[in-house]
Structure 1
Amino acid sequence: MASGMIVDTTLVIPRSTTTTVDEHAAETLVLDNRMPVLKNGDWTFLSHDEVVELRKRDGGDDTAVATAHETTTVNTKTTLHKADTTTTTTAKPETTTGTTKGSGTTTTKTTKTASASPLPSFFDSSLASNFSTDSACPAFINAFLTNPTFKKCYPFSLLLQGSRSFFNAEKSLVSITQVLDATCAANATFCTTYLSQLATNLTDSANCGADYKLGNSIVVQAYLGMIAYQPLYAASCLTDPDTGAYCYANAITNLTTTANVYFYYLPLNNTLPTSGSEPSCNWCLQQTMGVFWSSSADRKRPIANTYLSAANQVDTICGPSFVNDTLPVAITSGAMSSLRQGLSLHWLAPSIFLSMAAHFILF
């Protein structure tokens, strides 16, 4: 509190003066706002005006004045280093008591301990999707969603589709940064292998194979998210060197230039919309496309189907050679196949595009 400002203060004083506090047993008292002043070796209580006058007579010496302890409730703040942003988080207060030495006054000190917001859940808005008769798929999906290994990987690629809580988290730079902190903390090398094997198990006939062939949206989205884990992990964890903020966090919270968000759906077998706002030709876009270019060397990944058209659009807007508009030399990977059993996934693109459009309309 600034010097010279005196306000009525309410103290919460426990019925007992012991260190064990009953949080429900409390009375409300009005604090005497007079200030204790040491003058000529004796303590006396003076009003604010009397203190001001006394200081004038004593030449402005503040050392003789000792004010009573003020009781305040402080919001605990958490600084997100990567987003260079400070936010106030909710906290549960913990109350303790103590005696102020020299005054004989018992005061109550209130502190708060910060608690993290719940992270978004996977498929929390669409698991009621229709499955084939007697399908083992729902049980398989629920099993891997609750598996500790899957939770440890916390794949960003599976949050992009079918998560209402992730949609809500995207509305705040702070909350989406918390999500990206969690997903980027995973061991990408281990999780790439784990999710690749999980994709194979997902499409097995004993699990979700029949529903995958029928084009069940949940199964297809899960499969695409699993095989797109590596490029989307690398892209979503990029941080702007100028601000330290995640590139994806900047893109999703920028309401004036929304087109940069669409690029993160390329590894999920979606092409860019042919019309709409133009992307920002910045470092983040260039590096994100560089990640996808490298990933397209595996021709069995969906990004190999969508990269070239996106690169041509970017170079048309941002200038020739802003990104590489050719595919890298092909490599093979027997662990994944984006078009298993001859199923074309391009039918899914319009539905995901409409979902993204709805996001920006409702944002």
Structure 2
Amino acid sequence: MATATATAVPLLNPTPNLIPSPFPAPQIYRFSIPKENDAPIGIKMEQKLQRNIVICGIHEGTPFERSGARVGQEILMINGSVTNSPRTAAALIRSTPTPGIVTLVTADPTHSSLYKHITVSPTSVRWTLVREGTLLRLARVFAKASSTGLNEGDIVLAVQGRPVSTMDEVHRIVQAEQRDDVLLSFYVLDPTSLRDSIWRAVTQRIRASRYKELVGDTVTLRPIADTFEDRTDIFGVFIQQRLKARVVFDPDTYRMMDPWQYWSARYLNGRIEHESAMEYHRSSYKKVLAVMREYNRILEYNLRQLEELVCQECWRLSSGVAATVAEFATVEVDHNDDEDTIPLATATFY
């Protein structure tokens, strides 16, 4: 009699740890560089990943070399103005009166592209924090602060270089810095970068797992021209280049959700396209549901790791004792796909 043999199904483990430790929080520096004439002050800058400008070169024997700034530091402000464009930075330097002083605010490089520095004047910042577990999320950012780079949904990890896990800690730091001549530094996790990192991990794991049989090789996520009442962007999940369903990312939990679920949870009298809700009753919903579950599983795992890292660092500073660092399984994720590559701006001396 023939015996049936079971075929092993590859498991999606271990869950990839995509959160490098953000600590210790990078330090902030302020330099005053004399400008005695119209000659270049000796700085070479470039923009990486459409974020802050990075110092990539310093001329010898120039005022900038004598200032103490180092190659690799990020430029947060020039003469009190926030900029992330080398061209704008050059214009700010050239517009400094001669003789005069060029004021630079720089920071040590962040530990990952997931993290970013935001520097603002505390007297012009208006924002609202919400605590999610041990993480602090920016729930509202008003006009004066939004132009500086603070965005709703950013997870605040440190203020003025000090890790924070409660709203009281943030308010104490901010209240102590309520002066026009003091700059307030936020060190935050960018949820958009986290979303992109998780999505890359999801697609790579699908191609190498049992989900490949369900959804195929090609699964892409693209924004589509639909919005909800509170400006939540809607994305389309494309399988084999065909739109299978619409999804949204909850701004409070960062989870991937179908629009009907999001709408019904948030609005009692809201409106949604009828066909958008009905498409989730078709057979394609099973394929999208597999993708959504894998995305949310990786998201929740990594947010838990981030919570633990924040707790460890806050405890270490308050107690003066190094916390035991837990070891998590890590899976390498390829960040060099052609479609994800962002060219660097041309570096020029100013």
TM-score bracket, shorter-length normalisation: under 0.3
Larger relative contact order (CA 8 Å, sep ≥ 6): 2
Q: Normalising to structure 2: TM-score of the pair?
A: 0.23
Query: TM-score normalised to the size of structure 1?
Result: 0.23
Larger Rg: 1
Q: Decide which structure has greater strand share.
A: 2
The structure with more helix, counted as a fraction of residues: 1
